[in-house]
């Protein structure tokens, strides 16, 4: 098999260190053979295809830690959307997977699907039947009767039902468990009063603990959809591994600082999904409408909470091809460009449990990377421009 040698790019390996200028990276088949300076490859011989990447930057493919691949992001009425034939939803999923991959995302964590389509398309991608990013999937989220996402979740009431729900998802092929401890913003009529949403805690502490304990017993992590201090607190203290959205409410500032410190101590991940709040708004409207979202992100970043990139792709006005915008949002509110890149590569891979094979550009790992026109360390918006995607050693 012909090897591929990529020369003369600025190479960001995803580990957070200084980039390699005038780099070289040798790829064979699906994997990276070696990474170094271009001069290290001057004596390479054999059947090699050389790519001169002078003036470009190579970095790991992005990993989106919060996606709903079945959702059409420009349709508010999800219930009506799901009344379409399953074949229509499948066509939408195929489009969304292609958009995701072509935008520079080479791996996703799907946190809630319908009709087991996330599980099926995970296998289709793995088998090469459909073009798209690699996937891990939560299958159906677990919520209370009438709770957030009840239209596509498994409804459970009481600890025993949540234990059974965890077992059912794992038996059905779930890679992790998603729970809905609090309300959310997905229904238009609920967007009027943010305080009502942030104060609404659906799952009891005993339900969260039962689900988390069972997931951990089965070797799975548990992701908790959370808005508001109480829901985040209950989830962190009862075993949630990742907090999705994680918006503290402003009146709880002192308690929020303590909880952020606790998250950092426990190693609880935050997936802030800033894109879910920006939607169609401009920066200044977001800062006015969602002050606590930005404050919460800054607070957790300052406290040293582990943060991974996720957009909530598929919810209204959050496109599957817009992950690069999330990095821009992160840099607007406290992260450096390198920190945002690491949050979308190495850190996200660690959170997903795939770090041994993905997330950084190192010998032995899958050759999933991007070739960019420009340097995202100088301007993070470069990721929103022209790019070339390589997945498993194949240029897309």
The answer on 69 and 39 residing in a single domain is: no
The pLDDT-based confidence of 1 (bands split at 50, 70, 90) is confident
Q: Which is more confident, 276 or 365?
A: 365
Measured distance CA(311)–CA(109) in Å, rounded: 11
The pLDDT-based confidence of 76 (bands split at 50, 70, 90) is low
The answer on 128 and 7 residing in a single domain is: no
**Using one digit for the tens of pLDDT, what is the confidence trace for 311-327?**
999 998 899 999 999 99
The answer on 202 and 77 residing in a single domain is: yes
Per-residue CA distances from 199 to 100, 159, 182, 248, 252 (Å): 34, 22, 8, 10, 12
The DSSP string of 302-335 is HHT-EE-----BTBTT--TT-HHHHHHHHHHTT-
Measured distance CA(340)–CA(337) in Å, rounded: 5
The answer on 379 and 314 residing in a single domain is: no
The answer on 376 and 312 residing in a single domain is: no
Measured distance CA(24)–CA(103) in Å, rounded: 24
Question: 302 by DSSP, 3-state: which?
Answer: helix
**Using one digit for the tens of pLDDT, what is the confidence trace for 104-157?**
999 999 999 999 999 999 999 999 999 999 999 999 999 999 998 888 899 999
The pLDDT-based confidence of 47 (bands split at 50, 70, 90) is confident
The answer on 208 and 297 residing in a single domain is: yes
Measured distance CA(7)–CA(25) in Å, rounded: 7
pLDDT at 234 over 70: yes
The reported pLDDT for the residue numbered 347 is 99
The stretch 221-243 carries a mean pLDDT of 97
Burial of 287 (0-12, 13-18, 19+ CB in 10 A): middle
Name the least confident of 14-28, 258-272, 283-297.
Answer: 283-297
Starting at the edge strand that comes first in sequence, how are the strands of the sheet with 23-28 ordered? 31-37, 23-28, 3-7, 48-52
Percent of the chain with pLDDT over 90: 81
Q: Which is more confident, 390 or 255?
A: 390
The reported pLDDT for the residue numbered 151 is 85
394 beta partners: 391
The reported pLDDT for the residue numbered 45 is 78
Measured distance CA(396)–CA(34) in Å, rounded: 21
The answer on 257 and 140 residing in a single domain is: yes
> What CATH number does residue 289 fall under?
3.20.20.140
- Count of domains observed in the chain: 2
The reported pLDDT for the residue numbered 186 is 57
The answer on 131 and 47 residing in a single domain is: no
CA 42 remoteness from chain centre: 38
Average pLDDT, the chain: 93
**Using one digit for the tens of pLDDT, what is the confidence trace for 154-200?**
999 999 999 999 999 999 999 999 999 998 865 444 443 444 455 68
Domain span including residue 389: 3-60+359-395
Predicted model pTM:
0.95
163 — phi, psi (to 5°)?
-60, -45
Measured distance CA(356)–CA(152) in Å, rounded: 32
The answer on 203 and 113 residing in a single domain is: yes
Phi-psi category of 393—alpha, beta or left, where left has phi over 0 and alpha has psi -120 to 50? Answer: left
The answer on 74 and 40 residing in a single domain is: no
């Amino acid at each position: 098999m012909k090897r591929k040698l990529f020369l003369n790019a600025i190479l960001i390996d995803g580990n957070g260190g200084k980039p390699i200028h005038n780099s070289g990276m040798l790829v064979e088949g699906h994997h990276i053979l070696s990474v170094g300076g271009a001069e290290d490859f001057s004596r390479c011989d054999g059947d090699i295809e050389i790519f001169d990447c002078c003036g470009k930057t190579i970095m790991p493919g992005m990993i989106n830690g919060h996606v709903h691949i079945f959702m059409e992001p420009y349709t508010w009425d999800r219930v009506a959307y799901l009344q379409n034939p399953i074949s229509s939803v499948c066509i939408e999923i195929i489009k969304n997977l292609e958009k995701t991959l072509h935008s520079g995302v080479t791996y996703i964590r799907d946190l809630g699907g319908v009709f087991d389509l996330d599980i099926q398309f995970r296998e289709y991608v793995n088998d090469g039947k459909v073009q798209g990013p690699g996937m891990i999937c939560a299958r159906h989220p677990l919520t209370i009767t009438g709770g957030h996402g009840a239209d596509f979740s498994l409804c459970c009431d009481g600890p025993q039902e949540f234990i059974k729900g965890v077992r059912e998802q794992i038996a059905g092929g779930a890679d992790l468990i998603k729970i809905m401890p609090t309300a959310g913003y997905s229904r238009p009529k609920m967007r009027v009063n943010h305080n009502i949403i942030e104060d609404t805690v659906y799952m009891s502490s005993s339900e969260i603990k039962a689900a988390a304990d069972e997931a951990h017993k089965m070797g799975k992590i548990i992701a908790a959809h959370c808005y508001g201090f109480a829901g985040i607190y209950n989830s962190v203290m009862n075993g949630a591994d990742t907090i999705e959205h994680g918006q503290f409410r402003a009146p709880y500032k002192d308690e929020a600082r303590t909880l952020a410190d606790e998250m950092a101590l426990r190693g609880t991940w935050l997936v802030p999904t800033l894109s879910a709040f920006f939607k169609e708004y401009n920066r200044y409207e977001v800062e006015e409408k969602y002050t606590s979202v930005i404050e919460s992100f800054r607070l957790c970043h300052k406290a040293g909470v582990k943060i991974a990139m996720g957009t909530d792709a598929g919810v209204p006005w959050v496109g599957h091809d817009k992950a690069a915008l999330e990095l821009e949002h992160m840099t607007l509110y406290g992260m450096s460009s390198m920190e945002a890149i690491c949050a979308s590569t190495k850190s996200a891979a660690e959170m997903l449990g795939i770090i041994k094979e993905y997330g950084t550009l190192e010998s032995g790992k899958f050759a999933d990377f991007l070739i960019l026109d420009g340097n995202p360390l100088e301007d993070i918006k470069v990721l929103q421009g022209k790019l070339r995607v390589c997945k498993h050693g194949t240029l897309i």
